[in-house]
Each structure stands twice: as C-alpha cells, then as structure tokens.
Amino acid sequence: MQLEQLKTRVSYQTLLLAGFALAASALLGIGDWSTRDAIELRRQENLKASLAQVIPDELYDNDLVKSTVIVPTYSLSNMQEILIYQARKQGCTTAVAFRLTAPDGYSGNIDMIIGIGRNGDILGVRVIAHAETPGLGDKIEIAKSDWILSFNGRSLENPTVEQWAVKKDGGEFDQFSGATITPRAVVNAVRRGLLFFDKHRSEIVE
C-alpha cells in the first residue's frame, strides 16, 4: 500500500495526532519540572520581602517563614485555615503576621499582609495583589502613596469602633479623591484582621 493511501486512513491520522499530543505533554512536563525549583525560590523570596515590610528585623531572631502555626476560623458557614507567621526573640513571640483579603474592592479581591505586635498594635500593612483602577484605587500600594502607613500603631481601641472607617463614613481614615470603595474595603479588612488576632491571641502569641 502506498504511503499516500495510508495517510488517508483515519487510523493513521489518529496515531499521528496522538503522537503530537504525547510529545507536547512530555515537553510541558519537562518544562514544569525544570522550572519548579526556580518558581518556589521566587515565591519564598517574595514572601520574605513582604514579611520584612510588616515586621521590623529587631523583633525577631528566628526564621519567619519556618515559624508558623495554622489557626482554623469560621466565616459565616465556611471554615478557613489562617497561616500565622510568628516572630520570636529569644524564644518569646513578639509579633505575628498573616494574610488578609478584602473581597469587596472596586475590582475584586485585595490581598494584603498585616503585622501585629503582641500588644495588639499594627506594625505594618502591605497590599500584595489587587486589580484596582490605576491612578485611583492603586494608591493603596506603598509605591504609589503612603496612605497604607496610616495603619501603623493602630489597634482595636485606636481609633474607636465608630472611627474604624473612612472619613466619608464618619471614620478617621482618608479616602481617595474619586475612589472611596477601595480604601473602605482595606480599612474594613484590616479591622477584621485585628478582631481575628484578638480572638485567637492565646493561640498564636506564646
């Protein structure tokens, strides 16, 4: 049978397609394997950089990335596990850090990391991922504005419950011109983070 006739058969075309698919899968697998370590290294570097921005170096002598505890918490009907990074100095927990998500940003989720001292005061808050409007909502980034620094030193009692809001809502925190939804979402999320810390303080501060 001539090659041209064989090529017209469905079985030949199926085998050819399967061969291409197998080769493509092998290449993808090799690519994933060869880049996995580099991706994990970059993830660890980004995590360390974020933690360094919310917990001062002088507060710990341990490896923050490796000093963790998982705290289960309930949000409405859902159970979540919050990964807590513990800063320790001479064996004593001096501060903690964990991720926060504001689900009600103008363009969706706003992911943050917060550092809190053992006394309940905020050491720092940083936005690590968002999709807010450039030139308006993106002022939550430390690279665009120092607005996020207004949380430093705050606690559940400072300001009062009523003042834990943007000024447009009668609170103490500035909103952005033309963009109130974004800072409102961040303020509310940070306060929820403080409430979480207060509720689980005995579990995460030794």
Sign of CA pseudo-dihedral 194, 199, 203, 206: positive
Range of the domain at 142: 57-204
Amino acid 74: pLDDT: 75
- 77 lies in the same domain as 168: yes
CA distance 59 to 124: 13
Return the minimum-mean-pLDDT range out of 67-76, 167-176, 177-186.
Answer: 67-76
- 65 lies in the same domain as 41: no
CA distance 180 to 49: 29
Name the domain boundary from 54, 69, 91: 54
- 78 lies in the same domain as 180: yes
Residue that the structure tokens 């990391």 belong to = 113
- 15 lies in the same domain as 91: no
- 40 lies in the same domain as 98: no
- 48 lies in the same domain as 62: no
CA distance 51 to 151: 16
Angle at 50 between CA 49 and CA 56, to 5 degrees: 85
CA distance 65 to 48: 7
Terminal CA-to-CA distance of the chain, rounded, Å? 80
CA distance 39 to 128: 17
Q: Provide the domain count of the chain.
A: 2
For the record, the structure tokens of 42 come out as 């970059």
- 95 lies in the same domain as 193: yes
- 115 lies in the same domain as 192: yes
Angle at 120 between CA 52 and CA 67, to 5 degrees: 45
- 45 lies in the same domain as 116: no
Closest CA to 187 of 90, 83, 130, 112: 112
**pLDDT surpassing 60 at residue 2:** no
Share of the chain above pLDDT 90, in %: 68
Amino acid 150: pLDDT: 97
Q: Which residue would you say has higher pLDDT here, 3 or 130?
A: 130
CB contact at 8 A, 83 and 99: yes
pTM score over 0.95: no
